[in-house]
Structure 1
Amino acid sequence: MATATYPPPPPFYRLYKDYNVNPKSIPEPPPPIEGTYVCFGGNYNTDDVLPSLEEQGVRQLYPKEPNVDFKKELRSLSRELQLHILELADVLVERPSQYARRVEDISLIFKNLHHLLNSFRPHQARATLIHVLELQIQRRKQAVEDIKRQREEVQKLPKEALGTLAGQ
């Protein structure tokens, strides 16, 4: 029984058969997907919004104000995490049966830290983009200065050559 090594091309390849003659004959791409869609069995949403902790059923440990001081709150949650880890170690030594509550508290702190860091991502991306653009501007200005310097040196060469020839 003979079988093909590769499967046949998909049927929509026929839409592109006149491309060499008329490149504008190809169909327009499909419009962008908006809303929810399914990909590899998972439901995804095109609205890139971070759900709040309350929507996820988690108690929020930092203030709910819109302008959160990320540095202060991250530092505070980190200290609280250290304290709870030390308390967990103490509980495991003194009262091992009561460790579950401490682990839940640590889990809650980690979820709050994770959410706070994810809330900071847009600010971080904006700052990174600004930094990259400033570096590009700086490199381009340096390149322009190098070109100007090289041009001035090249313009001096014929004058020096003429002066050397005239002196002989």
Structure 2
Amino acid sequence: MATATYPPPPPFYRLYKDYNENPKSIPEHPPPIEGTYMCFSGNYTTDDVLPSLEEQGVRQLYPKEPNVDFKKELGSLNRELQLHILELADVLVERPSQYARRVEDISLVFKNLHHLLNSLRPHQARATLIHVLELQTQRRKQAVDDIKSGEKSCRNFSWSLSEP
């Protein structure tokens, strides 16, 4: 029984058979999905909203104002985390049976740190996109400069060959 090494192309390739003669003959792109959709038996939504800590049942340790100073609050939570870890070490030495409360405190600080960092993701995505676009612009300008300098060197080279 012989089988093909590669599977056949999907049937929608026929929609593009006249592309070489008429590039406008291809079908329209499907509209973007809005709202909820199902993927791999799971319901997902296109609204990427970070749920608040209260919605997750976690106590918020930093101010609930809209303009949070992330640097200050992350530093504060980091110091608090270090303090709780030192307290945990002390409790493990002095009173080992009382470690659970300290571990819960550390878990709470980690959840707050994690939430603060996740709220910075949109800013990180914008900054990354800006950086990538600046690099692409720089590379393209460099490529144009290389082409221009290559043309000059080719002209100089051809002149030097024509001279006696």
CA contact (8 A) 1:18 1:25 kept: no
List aligned pairs for 1:1-150, cutoff 5 A.
Answer: 19=15, 31-150=31-150
In the alignment, the residues of structure 2 paired with residue 116 and residue 32 of structure 1 have an alpha-carbon distance, to the nearest angstrom, of 30
Distance 1:21 1:120, change over 3 A: closer
Distance 1:110 1:31, change over 3 A: same
Superposition deviation, residue 103 in structure 1: 1.1
Deviation per residue, 1:10-36 (Å, 9 max, x gap): xxx5xx596477679998676443323
Where do 5+ consecutive residues of structure 2 fail to align? 4-10
CA RMSD of aligned residues (A): 3.0
In the alignment, the residues of structure 1 paired with residue 90 and residue 41 of structure 2 have an alpha-carbon distance, to the nearest angstrom, of 45
| 1:9 alignment counterpart | none
Using the size of structure 1 for normalisation, the TM-score is 0.77
Deviates more, 1:16-25 or 1:135-144: 16-25
In the alignment, the residues of structure 2 paired with residue 67 and residue 114 of structure 1 have an alpha-carbon distance, to the nearest angstrom, of 18
In the alignment, the residues of structure 2 paired with residue 137 and residue 26 of structure 1 have an alpha-carbon distance, to the nearest angstrom, of 31
Using the size of structure 2 for normalisation, the TM-score is 0.78
In the alignment, the residues of structure 2 paired with residue 112 and residue 29 of structure 1 have an alpha-carbon distance, to the nearest angstrom, of 42
Distance 1:155 1:58, change over 3 A: same
Where do 5+ consecutive residues of structure 1 fail to align? 6-12
CA contact (8 A) 2:16 2:26 kept: no
Superposition deviation, residue 54 in structure 1: 1.3
Superposition deviation, residue 158 in structure 1: 2.9
One-letter amino acid of the counterpart of residue 42, structure 1: G
CA contact (8 A) 1:37 1:43 kept: yes
Superposition deviation, residue 148 in structure 1: 1.0
SS at match of 2:44: strand
Deviation per residue, 1:61-107 (Å, 9 max, x gap): 11222222222221221111111011011111112222121111111
* Bigger CA radius of gyration: 1
Superposition deviation, residue 137 in structure 1: 1.0
CA contact (8 A) 1:88 1:103 kept: yes
Deviates more, 1:33-42 or 1:60-69: 33-42
Q: How many residues align?
A: 154
CA contact (8 A) 2:35 2:47 kept: yes
Distance 1:17 1:82, change over 3 A: closer
